[in-house]
Amino acid sequence: MHPLAALVKRAIETYIKTGKVIEAPAELSEEMTWSAGVFVCLKTGGQLRGCIGTIEPAAGCVAEEAIRNAIASATEDPRFFPLGEHELKDIDVSVDVLCPAEKVSSISELDPKRYGVIVKKGPRRGLLLPDIEGVDSPQEQVRIAKTKAGLDPADPDVELFRFKVQRFE
């Protein structure tokens, strides 16, 4: 398990068992020192169990961002009940560190296996990470991101951005 994924798992376990938020380690691997948006996704038995993240950094470094988003994924994802202590042994974690997004002029510049997508219209934004099982076309990727943003999936008048991630498991 990568050290960033291990940190996330420890953060979740500590919070669920004690209610305490761990500190970032004094010694950080290089990728933990960056400033970037981070998504933490949790799965049990291959099924999504929580996924929360930030498009832009809200903490001082990736390690702090990952700890914060790990706890939120385990306890605040509105699609799921908070994670129970009995589930900890079965949780698989992945941490996606977002690279800077770039605006694209056409859906043809998207590739759902390689790039995540952000759709934006006014103050509304929706994001979908890359390489999501069952999302095989840019059209499907954009439709899901529009829905997450609370936008009409048929609305063609949105700004599109693509980004890569570094995934740690």
Euclidean distance between CA atoms 105 and 107, whole angstroms:
7
pLDDT of residue 64: 97
Provide the mean pLDDT of the chain: 95
Q: How confident is the model at residue 107 (pLDDT cuts 50, 70, 90)?
A: very high
Domains and CATH numbers, the chain: 3-98 (3.30.700.20), 102-164 (3.30.1490.150)
H helix runs in 39-137, sequence order: 62-75
Average pLDDT over residues 162-169: 95
Q: Taking Cα atoms as reference points, which of 128, 115, 16 lies closest to residue 74?
A: 16
* pLDDT, tens only, 14-66: 999 999 999 999 999 989 999 999 999 999 999 999 999 999 999 999 999 99
More confident residue, 160 or 133: 160
Q: What is the DSSP letter of 82?
A: P
The pLDDT assigned to 62 comes to: 96
Structure tokens at 167: 């995934």
pLDDT digits (tens, 9 = 90+) for 110-126: 999 999 999 999 999 99
Q: pLDDT value at position 140?
A: 96
Reported pTM: 0.92
Q: What is the pLDDT confidence band of residue 13, given thresholds at 50, 70 and 90?
A: very high
